[in-house]
Structure 1
Amino acid sequence: MSDAYAQQIDTVYLEKLLQSHPDLFQNILSHPTKNEVQILYTQIDRDKSNRPHFRSYSYRLNPNWYFYPASTVKLPTAILALEKINDLHLAGLTKDTPLRIDSAFEKQTKVLVDESAANGLPSVAQYVKKILLTSDNDAQNRLFEFIGRAELNAKLKNTAPNTAISSTVLPLATKEYGPNTPIPLPFTMEKISSTNKRPNSTQKTIP
């Protein structure tokens, strides 16, 4: 990002805003450490030439504390899932290849169909679409499992050294594993017959 558009983070405005509404935020202001509250807000304005200008505001932001990313984590997950498809270098494997997801252990659930997809089958592309259009939590969890936590965090650290994702959006069995422990991933990619739009016998199990 160019220095012409980036600005230093304002650390005062949000605190004053919170203090001006004690009826809404008094509990946060009274117990900020207990609640581990951090706020980071960036306002994006565009000038007449459509160039973006950024103004960032923070409250108790500390790079040494864990910052819960909420749904912002879904974008890098979607990108890295597409990247993994390319990195696998499997003939015929694309983002649109149907997925068959089994359950390797308790709390994992099978996925054989996706009624939101045009062909009725789940795929990496369909999960990416659901993440970007509706911020779908299940789609995030499926791609999280597809990439693998250790691989996801390793790739994130290459581009953002202080970034890590510790779990899925919704509680799944992955929380029972350490951050570097391989998790059983029961994914199978299947080719589709052009005549019946259903998987044929050619399968590629993802390691």
Structure 2
Amino acid sequence: MKFLVLITFLFTLSCAHKNEDPILEVLSSSNPKIKTVVDHIQNHEVQILFTEIERIGDSASFKDYSYQVNDSNYFYPASTVKFPIAILALEKMNTDPLININTLFNVEGDSIKTTISDEIKKIFAVSDNEAYNRLFEYLGKDYINSKLLEKGINARISHRLSVPNSDVTTTKSLIFYGNDTIILKTDSIVNKPIDPLQLHNTLKGKGYMINDSLVNNPMDFSLKNYLPITSLHQIMKQLMFPDLFPYEKQFHLSADDRAFLIKTMNILPQEAGYTSDEYYESYVKFLVFGDSKQPLPKHIKIYNKVGDAYGYLTDCAYIINEKTKKEYIITATIHVNKNQIFNDNTYEYDTVGFPFLAELGRQLIKY
């Protein structure tokens, strides 16, 4: 009888482990990189989505887990907005037979000539703001938001990044060249005014800096970009696994452009020509490797887009472990702004944010 009881007990433990939520399991870790955040979880606006990719033959399915996910609770998405903009730029480009991914162009009034492929490389290799801004001029905010809505993605992209008058609603023309001859000039786009977001927590903190002056009022984010982690996670799924979605929800890219985009999402700074010590291999790989400047192991492939600004750190990553043949999608955000002052460049990125996201990613893909 005692033997049967022991077998039943062990079986129950085994089943309980199999049914545990991996996110909750990881967050119960005694590792200080996790525990430091969990012990003060109300201060950090943590949201996490975790998907295990399950494959049977040629078919794939998702096993999803979530923690504190709430699209109504606003957080600043920072550079993660560059992810959908890169996809939509390729999609729009495919509608015009005059241009392709390597056609030279410049924004009107800008002396720099570049290509869509080069701008997308900059976006994923080092999260270049000017590259995003050029593609924003190409698309316009109304086009961006209507296309995302068509694909069932909850988002509101309003503005450029890190430039004066970033929220000007009229875009500039783009001029495309073939053999030093103008082959296409896009129209300037007059977009609708930006409406304030109707969400919780768009007023944040207790103050913010304007140049060297402190304003002792909460900072208003209601006119800022909005891209919740559910939408980032969905964009990754729709890009990586298009056949699991109806045609109207898919991104309509050519096979070559889609392959280019996915390959570029894995690119390291050095592979894109950024050779200074500032751009170490994990420079834009927050999950799993964000707390290390060591070379990345070859068997872990990460296709991702990060964002960091105003104390917010966010990463949306499709991760393949080539040793275990396991695949995951992880999207997570954390806020680290202990003094509750914005624009003072005093954020706990290195001491709290990066260690948390890195350890979270490591433990989830080991679970």
TM range (shorter): 0.5 to 0.7
Which of 15, 30, 37 is the equivalent residue of 2:24? 15
Letter in 2 for 1:153: N
Q: Which ranges in structure 1 are unaligned for 5 or more consecutive residues?
A: 1-9, 104-109, 114-121, 194-198
Q: Distance in 1 between matches of 2:165 and 2:41?
A: 30
Query: Under a length normalisation based on structure 1, what TM-score does the superposition of the two structures give?
Result: 0.62
Alignment of 1:32-51 (within 5 A): 32-47=41-56, 49-51=57-59
Note if contact 2:47-2:67 (Cα within 8 Å) is conserved in structure 1: yes
Distance verdict in 2 for CA 1:206–1:124, change over 3 Å: farther
Asked if structure 1 preserves the Cα contact closer than 8 Å seen for 2:140 and 2:171, the reply is: no
Q: Residues 33 and 142 from structure 1, CA distance in 2 versus in 1: closer, same or farther, beyond 3 angstroms?
A: farther
Tell me the equivalent position of 1:66: 74
Number of residue pairs matched by the alignment = 169
Query: What secondary structure is seen at the aligned counterpart in 2 of 1:64?
Result: coil
Work out the CA distance in 1 between the residues paired with 2:135 and 2:170. Answer: 13
Match of 2:176 in 1: 189
Structure number with higher strand proportion = 2
Which structure 2 residue ranges, 5 or more long, are not aligned?
Answer: 1-18, 189-367
Give me the whole-angstrom Cα distance separating, in 2, the residues matched to 1:158 and 1:145.
Answer: 20
Higher RCO, Cα 8 Å, sep 6+: 2
Q: In 2, Cα distance between the equivalents of 1:51 and 1:67? A: 35
Query: What is the rounded CA distance, in whole Å, between the counterparts of 1:124 and 1:32 in structure 2?
Result: 40
Indicate conservation of the 8 Å contact 1:174/1:183, yes or no: no
TM-score computed with the length of structure 2 as normaliser = 0.38
Whole-angstrom distance in 2 between the partners of 1:75 and 1:92: 25
Q: Is the 8 A contact 1:100 1:112 kept in 2?
A: yes
Give the alignment's Cα RMSD to 1 decimal: 3.4
Matched with 2:250 is none
| % identical equivalent positions | 32
User: Deviation at 1:102?
Assistant: 4.5
Secondary structure of the 2:69 match is coil
Q: Provide, for residues 78-113 of structure 1, a one-character-per-residue CA deviation record: whole Å limited to 9, x for no partner.
A: 2321333355x5x7344433111245xxxxxx4524
Q: 1:85: which partner in 2?
A: 93
Separation in structure 2 between the aligned mates of residue 160 and residue 72 of structure 1, nearest angstrom: 18
SS of alignment partner, residue 56 of structure 1: strand
Matched, 1:153 2:140: no
Cα displacement (A) at 1:58? 1.5
Residues 60 and 201 of structure 1: is their aligned pair in 2 closer, same or farther, counting only changes over 3 Å? closer
Question: CA contact under 8 A between 1:85 and 1:93: conserved in structure 2?
Answer: yes
2:154 — aligned with what? 162
Secondary structure of residue in 1 paired with 2:73: coil
2:112 counterpart letter in structure 1? L
